[in-house]
């Protein structure tokens, strides 16, 4: 790849839809980056209904480094590919309207891209939330019990190195175009799938914990449930396409959901004695799953900061994330994702 240097131009690409409360801060965090090279911000704007377009129009009047490409289909991969096609600089930095970059994010990302020879570099998603439900959801995101497994959810991570995927990503534009950009047939999981193809093509994906991104999660229980259901559906679709090449951690929530269903089915059979003796004892082992899960939630509650009500909210958020993701996964893996979409942004 062409080696970036301190003055390498950077194109930030950002899909935007119904982000009236966040997009201005996201864009300004980009334009405040402590970086010496030329930059541009390309917003892939969907047909928002909450006043986002007015905010974007105001931003365009503030800074001529901001540009817009239209994304009427609303699909994130399509919008990202249009923004990448319009990009003028050799480094692509993906950002979301629900994120804010640390001031040194770009400088560090470009330096790491150069130093490692990677095609994609990502850092840590540090979720933050306003007091109440959103703060609890943010704590669930940051908890190893909520989204455990992926290194970019661990804000205590200290070691950098090769990774399975990269959160958002500081990327080589030429390599992105070489592999065809984001898969436009996906509506969720596009980052993971892109990094999967990069690794399969022989490119390096790199994790650098010094890259910090503040992420503002959904702010209501219903929006969280819809987001994770859609994410689970599309992960199920990726399992259909790629099979065992998906990490084993993705199978834990759907297995738990199956266990819950078995508990419900077996309850009347065991209670009425229709199944007894040693078969009943063996089948009753399915109840270990919920018991152990409740113990996990209790442990997460104790470890969470704040008042009891705040801790219980964290446990609720974790449970919603796991169950909705698992249900969605089972739908996606058995019948495919079809036209499933994430509708959570219409509310949050």
CB 15 within 8 A of CB 76: yes
Res. 347: pLDDT tops 80: no
> Which of 294, 299, 298 lies closest to 323 in space, CA to CA?
294
User: What's the CA angle centered on 95, arms 89 and 97, to 5 degrees?
Assistant: 130
- Write out pLDDT tens, residues 298-318: 998 888 888 999 999 999 999
**Has residue 225 been placed in a domain?**
no
Q: How far apart are CA 125 and CA 165, in angstroms?
A: 13
Domain-ending residue, one of 163, 185, 217: 217
Statement to judge: residues 296 and 330 lie in one domain: yes
Task: Tell whether the torsion through CA atoms of 113, 29, 209 and 315 is positive or negative.
Answer: negative
Mean of per-residue pLDDT scores for the chain:
89
DSSP state letter for 100: E
pLDDT interval class at 2 (50, 70, 90): very low
- Write out pLDDT tens, residues 269-298: 888 877 777 787 888 899 999 999 999 999
Tokens representing 132 are 């109440």
pLDDT interval class at 149 (50, 70, 90): low
Statement to judge: residues 167 and 272 lie in one domain: no
Domain-ending residue, one of 187, 217, 247: 217
Supply the pLDDT for residue 154.
52
- At 176, which CATH number? 3.90.550.10
Supply the pLDDT for residue 148.
64
> Which of 41, 48, 90, 94 lies closest to 69 in space, CA to CA?
41
Residue 265 sits in which domain range? 238-346
Statement to judge: residues 36 and 178 lie in one domain: yes
Question: Taking the complete model, does pTM exceed 0.75, yes or no?
Answer: yes
- Write out pLDDT tens, residues 173-199: 999 999 999 999 998 899 999 999 999
Res. 327: pLDDT tops 60: yes
CB atoms inside a 10 Å sphere around CB 197: 14
More confident residue, 245 or 309: 309
**Has residue 4 been placed in a domain?**
no
Minimum mean pLDDT among 125-134, 243-252, 312-321: which range?
Answer: 243-252
- Write out pLDDT tens, residues 3-58: 444 569 999 999 999 888 889 999 998 999 999 999 999 999 999 888 999 999 99
Statement to judge: residues 249 and 144 lie in one domain: no
Q: What is the mean predicted confidence (pLDDT) over 217-238? A: 94
Residue ranges with strand state E in the chain: 10-16, 39-45, 66-70, 91-94, 99-101, 120-127, 161-162, 170-172, 205-215
Res. 342: pLDDT tops 90: no
Place of tokens 């239209």: 70
- Provide the number of structural domains found in the chain: 2
Statement to judge: residues 202 and 307 lie in one domain: no
């Amino acid at each position: 790849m062409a080696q970036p240097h301190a003055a390498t131009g950077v194109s930030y690409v950002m899909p935007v839809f119904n982000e009236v409360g966040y997009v201005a801060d996201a864009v300004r965090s980009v334009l405040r980056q402590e970086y010496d090279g030329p930059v541009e911000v390309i917003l892939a704007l969907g047909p928002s209904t909450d006043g986002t377009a007015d905010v974007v129009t105001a931003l365009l009047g503030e800074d001529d480094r901001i540009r817009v490409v239209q994304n009427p289909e609303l699909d994130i991969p399509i919008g990202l590919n249009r923004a990448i096609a319009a990009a003028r600089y050799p480094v692509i930095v993906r950002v979301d309207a629900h994120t804010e970059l640390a001031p040194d994010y770009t400088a560090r990302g470009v330096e790491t891209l150069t130093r490692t020879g990677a095609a994609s570099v990502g850092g840590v998603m540090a979720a933050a939330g306003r007091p109440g439900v959103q703060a609890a959801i943010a704590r669930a995101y940051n908890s190893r019990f909520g989204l455990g497994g992926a290194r970019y959810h661990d804000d205590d991570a200290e070691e950098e190195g090769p990774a399975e995927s990269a959160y958002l990503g500081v990327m080589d534009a030429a390599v992105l175009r070489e592999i065809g950009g984001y898969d436009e047939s996906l509506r969720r999981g596009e980052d993971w799938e892109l990094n999967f193809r990069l690794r399969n093509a022989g490119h390096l994906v790199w994790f650098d914990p010094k890259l910090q991104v503040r992420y503002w999660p959904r702010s209501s229980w219903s929006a969280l449930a819809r987001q994770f259901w859609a994410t689970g559906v599309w992960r199920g679709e990726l399992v259909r396409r790629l099979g065992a090449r998906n990490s084993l951690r993705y199978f834990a929530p759907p297995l738990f959901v199956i266990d819950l269903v078995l508990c419900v089915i077996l309850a009347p059979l065991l209670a009425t004695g229709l199944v007894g003796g040693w078969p009943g004892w063996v089948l009753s082992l399915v109840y270990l799953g919920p018991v152990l899960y409740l113990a996990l939630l209790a442990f997460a509650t104790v470890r969470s900061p704040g008042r009891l009500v705040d801790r219980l909210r964290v446990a609720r958020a974790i449970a919603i994330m796991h169950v909705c993701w698992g249900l969605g996964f089972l739908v996606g893996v058995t019948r495919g994702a079809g036209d499933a979409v994430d509708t959570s942004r219409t509310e949050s």
